[in-house]
Structure 1
């Protein structure tokens, strides 16, 4: 994107259209669908194991809670999402007008939005498949969905950009969404399968077998509100940036995507262990769930803070290596790197929100606390962003994002102990403080050392060694247990996950 379209009107128009798949990804793949369906499938798997005793293979297949769950949810989901995608295609001008009211020429954004709206259906199916497979401890096909997605985007964009311009990127998003479904389909059929649809005249025993489904759908509202409020941070960002000079939306987007990579990497730990926590909660073993959550928080926080130190310390070098070619100028590099440093201040908050929200939705009962905490953070984001954008432009928008997500993380950390799992909140907070000190020292070291080497690639590569070394040395000096006991933590974490 940076090479072909730089940071200007075309890239801004595409990013407005990309808001649709970003929201769809949050709702239908990452947050809402996973938080809803992974526990539902985990409960169904637990019931399958308890109900197979004394049944023939044919009887077990006919009464399989997992297949009954699929049969009662997937057809309805497909019909609903197809209807939503159709509405978005028709209402694309209205959508663009709401998302970016200050955009000078919205027509290109409208055309791109009509293409990206198709992902609502494909992402929903892909997210459903992913949740089911992860509950079955099958992680490779779900891990391949974004590889497929990027192959579709990049391949279509490279092949058609000369003919369609930035519309080729939007068409690639639609193509990539289809590939996300196809790459998981064989594994879904093999591990899960398609169950019979639930009939209207189902008996009481049939309804009892479908109870996990009813419990899951009882959680829809709080999960969806949480996911929508979380993704609305991007809507606030683009709404406020639409009135700034061309390229502001693109600078914010490039900065956000690169800055969030440490958070994405750190949350892989929680993604792998989420089904384990859900099954422990379903079995009533809250002590086991507490230990897993605390260990997840320790490892995820360590990973994200080390990554934060690297992102802030070497921001200009990272952006220059990744983007500065073609239509992306050196001025774009400086603007994006500066914004990225502000964004990175909120990375720990993003990581904690992702890690702490999962236990809330592991229980087989709805809970509104994460949605309320997220709404409080979103309110901080909106108010602070509206105030700060007048004086600091994109920096004010990025700073408001960091303030809002940190507010939500603090509320979730305080609230999880009394509502879901009795983790040691004070101990976790002290650990986070020590890791933050180590991250600050590593960040300062990288900020000073980075410009000393003129070649940006060599500088960033050495930073990947220098920053972790300083982080580890400082963490050891201040006796941060997550640093000194890291090998033991990793070994224990993944032995337990198996």
Structure 2
């Protein structure tokens, strides 16, 4: 629950909130979705160039160990922790600004005061964290990948990528402030700038610096990230009037609760620890294993990211229902999100299982990335795919947990003393920790025999365990899902996806050309998935199909009427019809 949502339940609606109607939110989502897709596409191109220039050897393994630093910092400082802390803080500061403006009070602008109180401390902490990572890079590499034969290259790359910690944190802060001001374009474009920076450095310096060029590109891209947001942020700050008359304390009525952020940060780090475990265990396996795991993860997560766009849109609805105490509405929305996210991610899962080999060959197999690398990466993708459903479901379920307790509130909020609810914030962390135990156990037991496939199986088993625990834990939050209906819906979609994967695999193997194999196999997967879903009565598939057919019939009807009018107009212009007609 964001501060702005909480305020709406207890305060009069402000002029600013009235301006932001459904059309504005739809436009903002459209811009965000398009720019996010562009960033993901450039990220895929980045991975393609990494594979082409460096293949999968000890050099790429060293870089990917170093890449763990920005991979950990990005979700913590940009996507999760900073967002949960600073979006509510700036939202409430904007509410206070509007209240002062309505009451014609002089004094310091709350938004500027909040920035002055928080930004210097943030920059100091980020500089210290970045410097510590550079200083202790050998120890970091040893912890992440103790089995590397020669860690010197990984240490060098880690020191370069550690630069990204500062701009990542600054980008997270500025992006949160801009979203609170209802400015979404620049924050959505940061990954476009990031990947363009990496691609530019790779293209120019890969032959000179080798894999160090990739690490330098990460540092340069992160600087572009933060630089993109500085201008819009300064323009947003100018929206407040300068202080006049007596100086008023900008933070009055605003209570920051940093402790409420700890579960978010802990969950993010715990979830990211899956990568640490894979790379630590993979460092003892043959050269290239870590690279195969990385390429497979990047391809597999595209399906999950697409599914999570659904709950990105509907999350405010869940938060608003929870803020109003309407647990039934929140439950209904979460159940729909679980079904819709599963419907999207499972068709992607079926496609990856059926067409993994031609997809990897078409995208990566060139330059130093050979057929053996393609086969190894494709097999890992097929095993990884078994955990994609659980990853998407976790993305849906974790939001109600963290929306129940924002990190900033009004000082007079009567719920501040309810400590029992704070303990529930740690449930996702505990569930993720148990999943990590499963991941580690399966990895240790299977890697000696199955290599990278054992690590991928451990990942899928661990994330599935976490998803099951979160399904149970939603009831503790007061969102008692109707489990028979939820599980029945998931089962129908799983059966449809299983049948589609089998049919798509059989067809894709009959076609040798990669592009044609992907096209034919994908078409078969989609057709069989939809057909089986309809036969099984999967509402998540039948409802969109019904609405789509209705829209198509309406469009054809309107076009028919329009066509008739156009024909009449043409006859009139030719003089065939009298003017009276």
TM-score between both structures, scaled by the size of structure 1 = 0.89
The equivalent of 1:495 in structure 2 is: none
User: 1:123-174, CA deviations, whole angstroms, 9 ceiling, x for partnerless residues?
Assistant: 1112223333444554332321111111111110110011111000000000
Distance 1:484 1:41, change over 3 A: farther
What 5-or-longer segments of structure 1 have no aligned partner? 197-201, 491-498
The equivalent of 1:164 in structure 2 is: 209
User: 1:156-196, CA deviations, whole angstroms, 9 ceiling, x for partnerless residues?
Assistant: 01100111110000000001111111223333344466999
Matched, 1:12 2:61: yes
Matched, 1:320 2:320: no
User: How far is 1:406 from its partner?
Assistant: 0.6
Distance in structure 2 (CA, Å) of the matches to 1:223 and 1:90: 27
The equivalent of 1:210 in structure 2 is: 254
Matched, 1:230 2:271: yes
Matched, 1:32 2:84: no
Matched, 1:416 2:416: no
Matches within 5 A, 1:261-280: 261-280=302-321
The equivalent of 2:494 in structure 1 is: 436
Distance in structure 2 (CA, Å) of the matches to 1:195 and 1:338: 56
User: 1:25-53, CA deviations, whole angstroms, 9 ceiling, x for partnerless residues?
Assistant: 1211223333444455555566666x468
The equivalent of 2:9 in structure 1 is: none
Give the SS at the match of 1:105. Answer: coil
Matches within 5 A, 1:36-435: 36-41=85-90, 51=99, 54-56=102-104, 59=106, 62=108, 64=110, 66-191=111-236, 208-211=252-255, 213-214=256-257, 217-364=258-405, 366=422, 367-435=425-493
Bigger drift between 282-291 and 377-386 goes to 282-291
Q: Does the CA-based 8 Å contact 1:254-1:336 persist in structure 2?
A: yes
Q: Does the CA-based 8 Å contact 1:317-1:456 persist in structure 2?
A: yes
Distance in structure 1 (CA, Å) of the matches to 2:91 and 2:493: 34
Distance in structure 2 (CA, Å) of the matches to 1:121 and 1:288: 40
User: 1:381-437, CA deviations, whole angstroms, 9 ceiling, x for partnerless residues?
Assistant: 111111111221111100000000111111111111331534434322221121111
Distance in structure 2 (CA, Å) of the matches to 1:488 and 1:416: 31
Bigger drift between 36-45 and 396-405 goes to 36-45
Distance 1:139 1:295, change over 3 A: farther
The equivalent of 1:480 in structure 2 is: 538
The equivalent of 1:454 in structure 2 is: 512
Q: Does the CA-based 8 Å contact 2:109-2:240 persist in structure 1?
A: no
User: How far is 1:301 from its partner?
Assistant: 1.6
Q: Does the CA-based 8 Å contact 2:113-2:251 persist in structure 1?
A: no
Distance in structure 2 (CA, Å) of the matches to 1:369 and 1:38: 23
Q: How many residue pairs are counted as aligned between the two chains?
A: 478
Distance 1:183 1:53, change over 3 A: closer
Tell me how large the CA RMSD over aligned residues is: 2.6
Q: Does the CA-based 8 Å contact 1:304-1:348 persist in structure 2?
A: yes
User: How far is 1:225 from its partner?
Assistant: 1.0
Q: Does the CA-based 8 Å contact 1:42-1:275 persist in structure 2?
A: no
Query: Considering only CA atoms, is the larger Rg found in Structure 1 or Structure 2?
Result: 2
Distance in structure 2 (CA, Å) of the matches to 1:358 and 1:81: 26
Distance in structure 2 (CA, Å) of the matches to 1:470 and 1:343: 22
Q: Does the CA-based 8 Å contact 2:296-2:381 persist in structure 1?
A: yes
Distance in structure 1 (CA, Å) of the matches to 2:90 and 2:524: 43
Distance in structure 1 (CA, Å) of the matches to 2:114 and 2:467: 33
Distance in structure 1 (CA, Å) of the matches to 2:371 and 2:523: 26
Distance 1:133 1:302, change over 3 A: farther
Give the SS at the match of 2:369. Answer: coil
What 5-or-longer segments of structure 2 have no aligned partner? 1-49, 242-246, 407-421, 549-581
Distance in structure 2 (CA, Å) of the matches to 1:281 and 1:489: 29
Give the SS at the match of 1:345. Answer: helix
Q: Does the CA-based 8 Å contact 2:69-2:162 persist in structure 1?
A: yes
Give the SS at the match of 2:67. Answer: helix
Distance 1:38 1:348, change over 3 A: farther
The equivalent of 2:10 in structure 1 is: none
Give 2:72's match in structure 1, choosing from 23, 33, 37. 23
